Amino acid sequence: MVEHDVEQEKVEILNRYRGLLRVSKGTREEGDGRIIRKAFELAVEAHKDMRRKWGEPYIYHPIAVARIAAEEVGLGTTSIVCALLHDVVEDTDYTLEYIEKEFGAKVANIIDGLTKISGYFDQSSSPQAENFRRMLLTLSDDVRVILIKLCDRLHNMRTLEHMSAKGQLKIASETKYMYAPLAHRLGLYAIKTELEDLSLKYTEPEVYTEIKTKLKATKEQRNRYIRSFIKPIKMELEQLGLDIEIKGRSKSIFSILQKMRKQNVEFEQVYDLFAIRIIADSQGDREKLDCWNIYSLVTSIYRPNPDRLRDWISSPRSNGYESLHTTVMGPKGKWVEVQIRTIRMDEIAEKGYAAHWRYKQGNDSDSGLDQWLGKIREILENPEDSAIEFLDDFKLTLYNEEIFVFTPKGDIRKLPTLATALDFAFDIHTEVGSKCIGAKVNGKLVPLSHQLKRGDQIEIITSAKQKPTKDWLEYVVTGKAKTKIKQVLKEEKRRKAADGKEILGRKFRNWKLALNTENMRILCLYFGIMSEQDFYVLVADDKMPKASLTYKQIIAKHKDKKELKKGERPVAPAKKMGDLIIGEDDQLELDYSFAKCCSPIPGDDVVGFITVGDGIKIHRTNCKNAERLMSNYGYRIIKARWAGFPLINHSFSAALEVTGIDGVGLVSKVTDIISKELEVNMKSVSFKATDGTFVGNLVLEIDSTEHLDELIANIRSIGDHIKVIRTDLEKS
């Protein structure tokens, strides 16, 4: 049994509480100290016998969450109190009524939103997704619920090393899939960046460690370069009499990896590993002018890339973010990103929603952040979407970059990149979207699916006879448009199903059959139709399924059979190769198969996922599908790891994309390395040359990641301009 020094822990709890008081000093008003002390004492009492899995007192956690809320988000006393008490109602005998009596209705409402959802959920749905949806419903009341929840998630990620491997993977995937994008949209860039990096640490630990090590090794070199880059700018700005601060910072590990994968380059080839931030002490009407003056000075010293200017001062992002971004050519031919902003803008950029609200002047109800929250409430208002559908639609509103477009009267609207004319129509109003038959963009007639560009002016053309169709879901990218189209389609489907049921009911009466659930189950299974409602819709559309037997014969024949699926092929047990261990027990033998979306090979970090009707599927942990599954269906994750490799007499398929400058005999060199030097079997090969460059797609049979890495290194050795990346097998 582990011994705990209780007296020492009491001292540590008090020290942590005093630290919380220090960082919250700037936001506290008279009397707030007593309220925070009261909440702290209640939390200590409520959690006095509770410890975290690794043994430390549980009270450390709510104190840490409250400190993050105060120090890193800039929230005030009410939020600090709620953070201290956020687990009290869920984990102890204290009730919400008691909290309301002691601390008031506002605190009780926020804690109610923070309390985790308990009870059972439909196993076809997702507890995580449902929990997230219910939490977001509190946006209608108080956005502090979401902000405190993000603080809670950040502290859990900071202490994730104490969790089991399965728990780490589930929580990290969920964080990357939903919480980091949510922090991004709420303007909490520092928290968003840390959540992404910590997620990567547990989903792709080797990649994370490699980039972190390389960043550390090149730190002094980068610092020297930043100092030399800043020096002439600082001298010029001081001569202008501007009070400024200049910071240089490395890009996050996650963002560097994204660049490496997007640009298909190695770490050493990522040119913008850091950014320079110039922060001016400027206020009121001087803010915009001073920022543009700084921009003018910087671009007179270093040549700017005209395609990389981003003006979020004239048109702030929906989360309130304001800044000028430019990329300039620095010394030694290196591109450097420069961000220019004021102290106010910088605080909003770092602390997001909370800082935005503190700086709001008067009745700024039309701010981008208010508009975005309004759109989220619209998505939340549709109670019929499944939790997973909701999450998919909601996620569309999080990470997308924005474009600014105009109505015929010149009003500005913000939409995500890739938004279409139909998205714009639904953004104006649901009725306008539902009746849209086309649009005029800059005076020219365009179809519903036309993608909008920054600065377009759009006029929507409507017709009273128009109705949304299923194809429309392919034309839109905004959560609002998708949600509204689905609502209309579901209502139309219900109406059709009611008509179809009435038609089928008459037929059943003629056949002397009962139109009941059991008989419809048999018919749906026999014809491979998903649900009774789908069957009724087919009847309404005069597409009633045909069969050699009569419906009466089908029902009579299969009346007593419990399992029946048309054309179902039995799932053969996956071949036991002794190479993969599923679950915690090394001796346990479970059937599994490899997911085609990412095609794992020995050496990949993998995870098992229990499917419905198709056994255990093995995914790579960095697979996009696996990330979504682990986030939404964490309870169906099962641990998986390779027992050892390479394997004897067994090979796996892997896909590679080879690109470079075309040359005589190049294809022959690539294929010789693969088939002759390394004796690798090629399942498919295709090369295409265009304007002096080539792209080759290969599907190969290999036995491990070690084998694959050797092959990639050998192909790259052909020439300086050859690039090789592993791709998804499905895309090859």
> Does position 194 have pLDDT exceeding 70, yes or no?
yes
The residue whose two tokens read 């009346």 is 559
Q: Name the strand (E) or helix (H) holding 358.
A: helix 353-359
pLDDT at site 567: 37
The per-residue b/e assignment along 531-561, b for 16 or more CB within 10 angstroms, e otherwise, is: ebbebbbbbbeeebbeeeeebeebbeebeee
Catalytic site residue from 9, 12, 56, 91: 91
Q: Name the strand (E) or helix (H) holding 445.
A: strand 444-446
Q: For 398-441, where are the E strands, in sequence order?
A: 402-406, 412-416, 436-441
Catalytic site residue from 45, 90, 97, 677: 90
- Sign of the alpha-carbon dihedral angle for 420, 424, 425, 429: positive
pLDDT at site 210: 93
pLDDT at site 560: 61
11: which 2 tokens? Answer: 């001292």
Average pLDDT over residues 422-445: 91
> Does position 678 have pLDDT exceeding 90, yes or no?
no
Cβ neighbours of 365 (radius 10 Å): 9
Q: Across all residues in the chain, what is the average pLDDT?
A: 81
For 507, residues 6+ apart whose C-beta sits below 8 A from its C-beta are: 551
Active site residue 91: yes
pLDDT at site 380: 58
* Environment class of 662 (CB within 10 Å of its CB; exposed 0-12, middle 13-18, buried 19+): middle
3-state secondary structure labels for all residues of 587-602: CCCCCEEECCCCCCCC
- Sign of the alpha-carbon dihedral angle for 235, 236, 241, 243: negative
Q: Residue 686 pairs with which residues in a beta bridge?
A: 697
Contact (Cβ atoms closer than 8 angstroms) between residue 404 and residue 413: yes
Distance CA 636, CA 307 (A): 46
Distance CA 143, CA 140 (A): 8
306: which 2 tokens? Answer: 């005209």
Question: Cα dist. 476→33, 332, 389, 456, 625 in Å?
Answer: 50, 44, 15, 17, 22
576: which 2 tokens? Answer: 């036991």
Q: How confident is the model at residue 269 (pLDDT cuts 50, 70, 90)?
A: confident
Closest to 355 measured CA to CA, from 365, 366, 345, 364: 345
Contact (Cβ atoms closer than 8 angstroms) between residue 81 and residue 88: no
pLDDT at site 655: 86
Q: What domains appear along the chain, each with residue ranges and CATH number?
A: 6-211 (1.10.3210.10), 221-359 (3.30.460.10), 487-557 (no CATH), 580-642 (no CATH), 652-731 (3.30.70.260)
Q: For 522-625, where are the E strands, in sequence order?
A: 580-582, 592-594, 606-610, 616-620
Phi-psi region of 694 (alpha: psi -120 to 50; beta: other; left: phi over 0): beta
The DSSP symbol for 732 reads: -
Distance CA 503, CA 473 (A): 30
For 584, residues 6+ apart whose C-beta sits below 8 A from its C-beta are: 639
Q: Residue 619 pairs with which residues in a beta bridge?
A: 607
Q: What is the pLDDT of residues 206-246, one digit of tens each?
A: 999 999 999 999 889 888 999 999 999 998 888 888 889 99
Q: What is the pLDDT of residues 470-526, one digit of tens each?
A: 889 988 988 888 888 988 888 888 999 999 999 999 989 998 888 988 888 888 888
Average pLDDT over residues 658-676: 80
Active site residue 411: no
* CA diameter of the chain: 96
pLDDT at site 335: 86
Cβ neighbours of 678 (radius 10 Å): 15
Contact (Cβ atoms closer than 8 angstroms) between residue 328 and residue 304: yes
Helix and strand counts by DSSP (H, E) for the chain: 29, 21
Give me the half-sphere count of Cα atoms (radius 13 Å) on the Cβ side of residue 192: 20
- Amino acid 467 reads K
